[in-house]
Structure 1
Amino acid sequence: MCSLHLTDYQQAKLKARDQLGLGADAALPDNQSIETAVLAYQRLFGGAAYAQRLQRLRATALHAMRWLHPLDVRLVGAVATGAINDAHRVQLHALTDDVEAVDFQFLDRGMPFAQGERRYRMTDGRQRAVPLLQFSADGIGVDLAVFTRDRPAQPLSPVTGRAAKRLRMGEVEALVQRA
Protein backbone atom coordinates (compact mmCIF):
# COMPACT_ATOMS: atom_id res chain seq x y z
CA MET A 1 0.00 0.00 0.00
CA CYS A 2 2.72 2.43 0.96
CA SER A 3 5.03 1.99 -2.00
CA LEU A 4 2.15 1.87 -4.50
CA HIS A 5 0.41 4.88 -2.87
CA LEU A 6 -2.89 3.05 -2.42
CA THR A 7 -5.43 4.48 0.01
CA ASP A 8 -8.23 1.91 -0.31
CA TYR A 9 -7.69 -1.26 1.72
CA GLN A 10 -10.02 -3.40 -0.42
CA GLN A 11 -8.21 -2.32 -3.58
CA ALA A 12 -4.87 -3.14 -1.93
CA LYS A 13 -6.08 -6.60 -0.89
CA LEU A 14 -7.30 -7.42 -4.39
CA LYS A 15 -4.07 -6.17 -5.95
CA ALA A 16 -2.00 -8.28 -3.54
CA ARG A 17 -4.19 -11.33 -4.20
CA ASP A 18 -3.69 -10.92 -7.95
CA GLN A 19 0.07 -10.36 -7.66
CA LEU A 20 0.42 -13.46 -5.48
CA GLY A 21 -1.68 -15.52 -7.88
CA LEU A 22 -4.24 -16.43 -5.22
CA GLY A 23 -7.75 -17.50 -6.11
CA ALA A 24 -10.84 -15.39 -5.60
CA ASP A 25 -11.74 -17.46 -2.52
CA ALA A 26 -8.38 -16.90 -0.80
CA ALA A 27 -8.54 -15.61 2.76
CA LEU A 28 -7.41 -12.00 2.94
CA PRO A 29 -6.42 -10.00 6.02
CA ASP A 30 -8.97 -7.74 7.65
CA ASN A 31 -8.63 -3.97 7.41
CA GLN A 32 -7.40 -3.60 11.00
CA SER A 33 -4.51 -5.97 10.24
CA ILE A 34 -3.65 -3.93 7.17
CA GLU A 35 -3.75 -0.65 9.10
CA THR A 36 -1.48 -2.16 11.77
CA ALA A 37 0.94 -3.32 9.06
CA VAL A 38 0.92 0.12 7.38
CA LEU A 39 1.73 1.80 10.70
CA ALA A 40 4.53 -0.68 11.41
CA TYR A 41 5.95 -0.28 7.90
CA GLN A 42 5.92 3.52 8.12
CA ARG A 43 7.56 3.51 11.56
CA LEU A 44 10.31 1.21 10.29
CA PHE A 45 10.88 2.51 6.78
CA GLY A 46 9.09 5.85 6.50
CA GLY A 47 11.72 7.76 8.44
CA ALA A 48 11.77 11.52 8.53
CA ALA A 49 9.82 11.84 5.27
CA TYR A 50 6.86 9.93 6.77
CA ALA A 51 6.99 11.92 10.01
CA GLN A 52 7.14 15.22 8.12
CA ARG A 53 4.29 14.24 5.79
CA LEU A 54 2.09 13.16 8.71
CA GLN A 55 2.88 16.36 10.60
CA ARG A 56 2.08 18.44 7.50
CA LEU A 57 -1.23 16.65 6.94
CA ARG A 58 -2.25 17.07 10.58
CA ALA A 59 -1.21 20.74 10.62
CA THR A 60 -3.25 21.28 7.45
CA ALA A 61 -6.22 19.57 9.07
CA LEU A 62 -5.91 21.86 12.09
CA HIS A 63 -5.62 24.93 9.85
CA ALA A 64 -8.75 23.88 7.92
CA MET A 65 -10.65 23.17 11.14
CA ARG A 66 -9.81 26.65 12.44
CA TRP A 67 -10.76 28.21 9.09
CA LEU A 68 -14.12 26.43 9.19
CA HIS A 69 -14.90 27.63 12.73
CA PRO A 70 -17.62 27.95 14.06
CA LEU A 71 -18.58 24.70 12.32
CA ASP A 72 -18.11 21.55 14.39
CA VAL A 73 -15.42 19.83 12.31
CA ARG A 74 -13.67 16.55 13.13
CA LEU A 75 -10.60 14.82 11.68
CA VAL A 76 -11.12 11.20 10.61
CA GLY A 77 -9.33 8.47 8.72
CA ALA A 78 -5.68 7.80 8.01
CA VAL A 79 -4.42 11.25 9.00
CA ALA A 80 -6.01 10.75 12.42
CA THR A 81 -4.55 7.26 12.89
CA GLY A 82 -1.20 7.91 11.21
CA ALA A 83 -1.62 5.11 8.64
CA ILE A 84 -0.80 7.38 5.68
CA ASN A 85 1.23 7.38 2.51
CA ASP A 86 1.93 10.11 -0.03
CA ALA A 87 -1.48 9.69 -1.71
CA HIS A 88 -3.63 10.46 1.33
CA ARG A 89 -5.80 13.54 1.59
CA VAL A 90 -7.09 15.06 4.82
CA GLN A 91 -10.56 13.70 5.66
CA LEU A 92 -12.82 15.97 7.72
CA HIS A 93 -16.41 15.59 8.89
CA ALA A 94 -18.51 18.70 9.54
CA LEU A 95 -21.56 18.40 11.78
CA THR A 96 -24.13 21.10 11.08
CA ASP A 97 -27.79 22.01 11.22
CA ASP A 98 -27.58 23.78 7.84
CA VAL A 99 -25.70 22.09 5.00
CA GLU A 100 -26.02 25.12 2.72
CA ALA A 101 -24.29 27.31 5.32
CA VAL A 102 -21.11 25.32 4.70
CA ASP A 103 -21.21 26.13 0.98
CA PHE A 104 -21.83 29.79 1.77
CA GLN A 105 -18.86 29.91 4.11
CA PHE A 106 -16.63 28.90 1.19
CA LEU A 107 -18.34 31.24 -1.26
CA ASP A 108 -18.30 34.22 1.13
CA ARG A 109 -14.56 33.79 1.68
CA GLY A 110 -13.76 33.26 -1.99
CA MET A 111 -12.36 29.79 -1.36
CA PRO A 112 -12.46 27.58 -4.46
CA PHE A 113 -13.95 24.13 -3.93
CA ALA A 114 -15.50 21.25 -5.83
CA GLN A 115 -18.80 19.69 -4.82
CA GLY A 116 -19.78 16.07 -4.87
CA GLU A 117 -21.06 13.42 -2.55
CA ARG A 118 -19.69 10.41 -0.73
CA ARG A 119 -21.52 7.31 0.44
CA TYR A 120 -21.06 6.07 3.98
CA ARG A 121 -22.25 2.99 5.80
CA MET A 122 -23.87 4.19 8.99
CA THR A 123 -24.20 2.75 12.49
CA ASP A 124 -27.94 2.22 11.87
CA GLY A 125 -27.08 -0.24 9.07
CA ARG A 126 -28.05 2.07 6.22
CA GLN A 127 -25.96 3.66 3.51
CA ARG A 128 -26.15 7.41 3.22
CA ALA A 129 -24.87 9.85 0.63
CA VAL A 130 -23.63 13.10 2.16
CA PRO A 131 -22.41 16.31 0.52
CA LEU A 132 -18.66 16.42 -0.05
CA LEU A 133 -16.62 19.57 -0.56
CA GLN A 134 -13.08 19.15 -1.88
CA PHE A 135 -10.54 21.92 -1.59
CA SER A 136 -6.86 22.55 -1.13
CA ALA A 137 -5.26 24.01 1.98
CA ASP A 138 -1.52 24.67 2.12
CA GLY A 139 -1.12 22.58 -1.05
CA ILE A 140 -2.78 19.54 0.56
CA GLY A 141 -6.05 18.04 -0.66
CA VAL A 142 -8.90 18.15 1.84
CA ASP A 143 -12.22 16.30 1.68
CA LEU A 144 -14.99 17.75 3.86
CA ALA A 145 -18.03 15.48 4.29
CA VAL A 146 -21.02 17.38 5.67
CA PHE A 147 -23.33 15.55 8.08
CA THR A 148 -26.54 16.97 9.52
CA ARG A 149 -27.06 16.85 13.27
CA ASP A 150 -30.68 15.72 12.92
CA ARG A 151 -29.59 12.17 12.08
CA PRO A 152 -28.07 10.38 15.08
CA ALA A 153 -26.40 7.57 13.10
CA GLN A 154 -22.65 7.96 12.62
CA PRO A 155 -20.53 6.71 9.73
CA LEU A 156 -18.75 3.40 10.23
CA SER A 157 -15.00 3.19 10.02
CA PRO A 158 -13.96 1.12 6.98
CA VAL A 159 -11.13 -0.21 9.15
CA THR A 160 -12.94 -1.30 12.32
CA GLY A 161 -16.55 -1.56 11.18
CA ARG A 162 -17.55 0.44 14.27
CA ALA A 163 -18.43 4.13 14.58
CA ALA A 164 -15.61 6.15 13.04
CA LYS A 165 -13.33 7.88 15.53
CA ARG A 166 -13.71 11.61 14.99
CA LEU A 167 -11.02 13.84 16.51
CA ARG A 168 -12.05 17.25 17.79
CA MET A 169 -9.89 20.33 17.25
CA GLY A 170 -8.24 20.05 20.68
CA GLU A 171 -7.22 16.45 19.97
CA VAL A 172 -5.71 17.45 16.62
CA GLU A 173 -3.86 20.34 18.30
CA ALA A 174 -2.37 17.84 20.75
CA LEU A 175 -1.19 15.59 17.89
CA VAL A 176 0.40 18.53 16.09
CA GLN A 177 2.14 19.80 19.24
CA ARG A 178 3.41 16.31 20.15
CA ALA A 179 5.35 15.93 16.90
Structure 2
Amino acid sequence: MRSPRQSNRGNASDLRRRIAVEAARLIAEQGLRDYHAAKLKAAAHFGPPDSLPLPRNGEIEEALREHQRLFQADSQPRHLARLRAAAIDAMRFFSRFEPRLVGAVLEGTADAHSAVCLHVFTDNLVELTSFLAENGIPFEQQDRNLRLDSGRSADLPALRFLAGDTALDATVFPLDGLRQAPLDRISERPMRRATLDALLDLAKPPSTA
Protein backbone atom coordinates (compact mmCIF):
# COMPACT_ATOMS: atom_id res chain seq x y z
CA MET A 1 0.00 0.00 0.00
CA ARG A 2 1.33 3.43 -0.89
CA SER A 3 1.91 5.88 1.92
CA PRO A 4 0.23 9.35 1.78
CA ARG A 5 3.65 10.84 1.01
CA GLN A 6 4.18 8.45 -1.91
CA SER A 7 0.67 9.19 -3.15
CA ASN A 8 1.29 12.95 -3.03
CA ARG A 9 4.54 12.53 -4.94
CA GLY A 10 2.74 10.42 -7.54
CA ASN A 11 -0.03 12.95 -7.91
CA ALA A 12 2.47 15.79 -8.28
CA SER A 13 4.45 13.84 -10.87
CA ASP A 14 1.26 13.05 -12.82
CA LEU A 15 0.16 16.69 -12.73
CA ARG A 16 3.58 17.90 -13.84
CA ARG A 17 3.40 15.47 -16.76
CA ARG A 18 -0.08 16.72 -17.73
CA ILE A 19 1.15 20.31 -17.64
CA ALA A 20 4.11 19.37 -19.85
CA VAL A 21 1.79 17.68 -22.36
CA GLU A 22 -0.51 20.73 -22.46
CA ALA A 23 2.47 23.08 -22.84
CA ALA A 24 3.74 20.96 -25.72
CA ARG A 25 0.32 21.16 -27.38
CA LEU A 26 0.34 24.95 -27.07
CA ILE A 27 3.82 25.13 -28.58
CA ALA A 28 2.93 22.80 -31.45
CA GLU A 29 -0.54 24.14 -32.26
CA GLN A 30 -0.39 27.80 -31.27
CA GLY A 31 3.23 28.57 -32.03
CA LEU A 32 4.28 29.60 -28.51
CA ARG A 33 8.06 29.64 -28.56
CA ASP A 34 8.70 30.73 -24.96
CA TYR A 35 8.73 27.56 -22.88
CA HIS A 36 8.20 29.46 -19.62
CA ALA A 37 5.13 31.23 -21.00
CA ALA A 38 3.82 27.93 -22.39
CA LYS A 39 4.14 26.12 -19.07
CA LEU A 40 2.41 28.96 -17.18
CA LYS A 41 -0.43 29.02 -19.68
CA ALA A 42 -0.71 25.23 -19.52
CA ALA A 43 -0.69 25.24 -15.72
CA ALA A 44 -3.58 27.72 -15.70
CA HIS A 45 -5.78 24.91 -17.05
CA PHE A 46 -5.25 22.97 -13.83
CA GLY A 47 -5.24 25.68 -11.17
CA PRO A 48 -3.23 28.70 -9.98
CA PRO A 49 0.19 28.29 -11.68
CA ASP A 50 2.13 29.43 -8.61
CA SER A 51 0.75 26.48 -6.62
CA LEU A 52 1.47 23.75 -9.17
CA PRO A 53 4.59 21.64 -9.85
CA LEU A 54 5.81 23.12 -13.12
CA PRO A 55 7.71 20.80 -15.46
CA ARG A 56 11.29 21.42 -16.45
CA ASN A 57 12.00 22.59 -19.98
CA GLY A 58 13.46 19.20 -20.81
CA GLU A 59 10.15 17.55 -19.91
CA ILE A 60 8.32 19.94 -22.23
CA GLU A 61 10.79 19.21 -25.04
CA GLU A 62 10.19 15.49 -24.59
CA ALA A 63 6.41 16.00 -24.62
CA LEU A 64 6.72 18.17 -27.75
CA ARG A 65 8.58 15.44 -29.62
CA GLU A 66 5.89 12.95 -28.56
CA HIS A 67 3.09 15.31 -29.69
CA GLN A 68 4.73 15.79 -33.08
CA ARG A 69 5.21 12.04 -33.46
CA LEU A 70 1.56 11.32 -32.63
CA PHE A 71 -0.30 14.25 -34.20
CA GLN A 72 2.01 15.83 -36.79
CA ALA A 73 3.73 12.80 -38.26
CA ASP A 74 3.11 13.96 -41.84
CA SER A 75 3.31 17.75 -41.63
CA GLN A 76 6.14 18.33 -39.16
CA PRO A 77 8.84 16.46 -41.12
CA ARG A 78 7.90 18.44 -44.26
CA HIS A 79 8.18 21.74 -42.41
CA LEU A 80 11.49 20.64 -40.91
CA ALA A 81 12.92 19.71 -44.31
CA ARG A 82 11.81 23.06 -45.77
CA LEU A 83 13.37 25.00 -42.91
CA ARG A 84 16.64 23.06 -43.10
CA ALA A 85 16.82 23.85 -46.83
CA ALA A 86 16.26 27.53 -46.00
CA ALA A 87 18.94 27.31 -43.32
CA ILE A 88 21.43 25.94 -45.86
CA ASP A 89 20.75 28.89 -48.16
CA ALA A 90 21.02 31.35 -45.27
CA MET A 91 24.32 29.91 -44.05
CA ARG A 92 25.79 30.13 -47.53
CA PHE A 93 24.60 33.73 -47.73
CA PHE A 94 26.24 34.55 -44.37
CA SER A 95 29.40 32.51 -45.02
CA ARG A 96 31.75 35.44 -44.29
CA PHE A 97 30.24 35.68 -40.78
CA GLU A 98 30.97 32.07 -39.71
CA PRO A 99 27.28 31.10 -39.31
CA ARG A 100 26.15 28.32 -36.99
CA LEU A 101 22.66 26.82 -36.93
CA VAL A 102 20.99 26.52 -33.52
CA GLY A 103 17.58 25.82 -32.08
CA ALA A 104 14.58 23.83 -33.24
CA VAL A 105 15.66 23.50 -36.89
CA LEU A 106 18.86 21.84 -35.75
CA GLU A 107 17.26 19.78 -32.98
CA GLY A 108 14.49 18.47 -35.24
CA THR A 109 11.46 19.97 -33.45
CA ALA A 110 10.85 22.85 -35.89
CA ASP A 111 7.36 23.24 -37.32
CA ALA A 112 5.27 25.70 -39.32
CA HIS A 113 5.70 28.34 -36.60
CA SER A 114 9.50 28.11 -36.34
CA ALA A 115 12.17 30.51 -37.50
CA VAL A 116 15.61 29.52 -38.74
CA CYS A 117 17.91 30.59 -35.90
CA LEU A 118 21.57 31.33 -36.55
CA HIS A 119 24.54 32.54 -34.58
CA VAL A 120 26.78 34.80 -36.66
CA PHE A 121 30.12 36.28 -35.68
CA THR A 122 31.73 39.65 -36.27
CA ASP A 123 33.47 42.35 -34.27
CA ASN A 124 31.84 44.97 -36.49
CA LEU A 125 28.03 44.96 -36.36
CA VAL A 126 27.86 47.72 -39.00
CA GLU A 127 29.61 45.41 -41.47
CA LEU A 128 26.80 42.90 -41.02
CA THR A 129 23.91 45.38 -41.15
CA SER A 130 25.47 47.04 -44.21
CA PHE A 131 25.74 43.63 -45.85
CA LEU A 132 22.00 43.13 -45.38
CA ALA A 133 21.22 46.63 -46.64
CA GLU A 134 23.42 46.17 -49.71
CA ASN A 135 21.44 43.05 -50.55
CA GLY A 136 18.12 44.85 -50.16
CA ILE A 137 17.07 42.93 -47.05
CA PRO A 138 15.03 44.92 -44.50
CA PHE A 139 15.51 43.74 -40.92
CA GLU A 140 14.48 44.43 -37.36
CA GLN A 141 17.10 44.68 -34.62
CA GLN A 142 16.62 43.96 -30.94
CA ASP A 143 18.74 42.98 -27.97
CA ARG A 144 18.71 39.40 -26.71
CA ASN A 145 19.91 38.37 -23.28
CA LEU A 146 21.76 35.05 -23.25
CA ARG A 147 23.44 33.21 -20.41
CA LEU A 148 27.08 32.73 -21.31
CA ASP A 149 27.74 30.40 -18.36
CA SER A 150 26.40 29.81 -14.85
CA GLY A 151 27.59 33.21 -13.65
CA ARG A 152 27.47 35.51 -16.68
CA SER A 153 24.94 36.79 -19.18
CA ALA A 154 25.15 39.30 -22.00
CA ASP A 155 22.86 41.39 -24.19
CA LEU A 156 23.61 40.66 -27.84
CA PRO A 157 22.11 42.18 -30.99
CA ALA A 158 19.64 39.98 -32.83
CA LEU A 159 18.52 40.65 -36.40
CA ARG A 160 15.20 39.33 -37.71
CA PHE A 161 14.18 39.33 -41.37
CA LEU A 162 12.36 37.28 -43.98
CA ALA A 163 13.74 35.12 -46.74
CA GLY A 164 10.69 34.51 -48.89
CA ASP A 165 8.10 33.31 -46.40
CA THR A 166 10.68 31.96 -43.91
CA ALA A 167 11.57 33.93 -40.80
CA LEU A 168 15.28 34.11 -40.01
CA ASP A 169 16.75 35.14 -36.68
CA ALA A 170 20.48 35.87 -36.42
CA THR A 171 22.06 36.54 -33.03
CA VAL A 172 25.33 38.45 -33.48
CA PHE A 173 28.35 37.42 -31.38
CA PRO A 174 31.85 38.86 -31.32
CA LEU A 175 34.39 36.67 -33.07
CA ASP A 176 35.63 35.17 -29.81
CA GLY A 177 32.07 33.94 -29.23
CA LEU A 178 32.92 31.04 -31.52
CA ARG A 179 34.93 29.48 -28.70
CA GLN A 180 32.04 28.81 -26.35
CA ALA A 181 28.31 28.60 -27.00
CA PRO A 182 25.84 30.20 -24.58
CA LEU A 183 23.74 27.99 -22.33
CA ASP A 184 20.75 26.26 -23.84
CA ARG A 185 17.43 27.26 -22.26
CA ILE A 186 16.34 23.60 -22.14
CA SER A 187 19.39 21.64 -21.04
CA GLU A 188 21.26 24.54 -19.38
CA ARG A 189 24.38 23.17 -21.05
CA PRO A 190 26.35 24.86 -23.85
CA MET A 191 24.03 25.23 -26.82
CA ARG A 192 24.46 22.83 -29.69
CA ARG A 193 25.70 24.59 -32.84
CA ALA A 194 26.12 23.22 -36.37
CA THR A 195 28.34 24.36 -39.21
CA LEU A 196 27.09 24.33 -42.79
CA ASP A 197 28.89 21.04 -43.46
CA ALA A 198 27.25 19.45 -40.42
CA LEU A 199 23.84 20.68 -41.55
CA LEU A 200 24.38 19.34 -45.07
CA ASP A 201 25.10 15.92 -43.57
CA LEU A 202 22.04 16.18 -41.34
CA ALA A 203 19.76 17.19 -44.23
CA LYS A 204 20.75 14.23 -46.43
CA PRO A 205 17.83 11.86 -47.04
CA PRO A 206 18.21 8.55 -45.18
CA SER A 207 19.87 5.79 -47.14
CA THR A 208 17.56 3.08 -48.45
CA ALA A 209 20.39 0.61 -48.94
User: Please, what TM-score do these two structures have when normalized by structure 2?
Assistant: 0.79
Greater mean deviation of Cα atoms: 128-137 or 115-124: 115-124
What's the counterpart of residue 177 of structure 1? 204
1:166 aligns with 2:198: no
What's the counterpart of residue 118 of structure 1? 144
Q: Secondary structure at the match of 2:28?
A: coil
Aligned counterparts of 1:131 and 1:23: Cα–Cα separation in 2: 32
Aligned counterparts of 1:23 and 1:5: Cα–Cα separation in 2: 21
Structure 1 residues 1-179: aligned runs within 5 Å: 1-123=27-149, 125-150=151-176, 154-178=181-205
Check the 8 A contact 2:28/2:111 in 1, yes or no. Answer: yes
What's the counterpart of residue 22 of structure 2? none
More helix by share: 2
Check the 8 A contact 1:91/1:142 in 2, yes or no. Answer: yes
Greater mean deviation of Cα atoms: 32-41 or 119-128: 119-128
CA shift, 1:62, in A, is 1.1
Q: Report which of the two structures shows the higher radius of gyration computed on alpha carbons.
A: 2
CA shift, 1:4, in A, is 2.4
Aligned counterparts of 1:56 and 1:153: Cα–Cα separation in 2: 29
Aligned pair in 2 of structure 1 residues 141, 33: CA closer, same or farther (>3 Å)? same
RMSD of aligned residue pairs (Cα, Å):
1.7
Gaps of 5+ in 1: none
Aligned AA for 2:83?
L
- Looking at both structures, which has the greater relative contact order when contacts are Cα pairs under 8 Å and sequence separation is at least 6? 1
Aligned AA for 2:63?
A
What is the aligned length?
179
Q: Secondary structure at the match of 1:128?
A: strand
Gaps of 5+ in 2: 1-26
Aligned AA for 1:98?
N
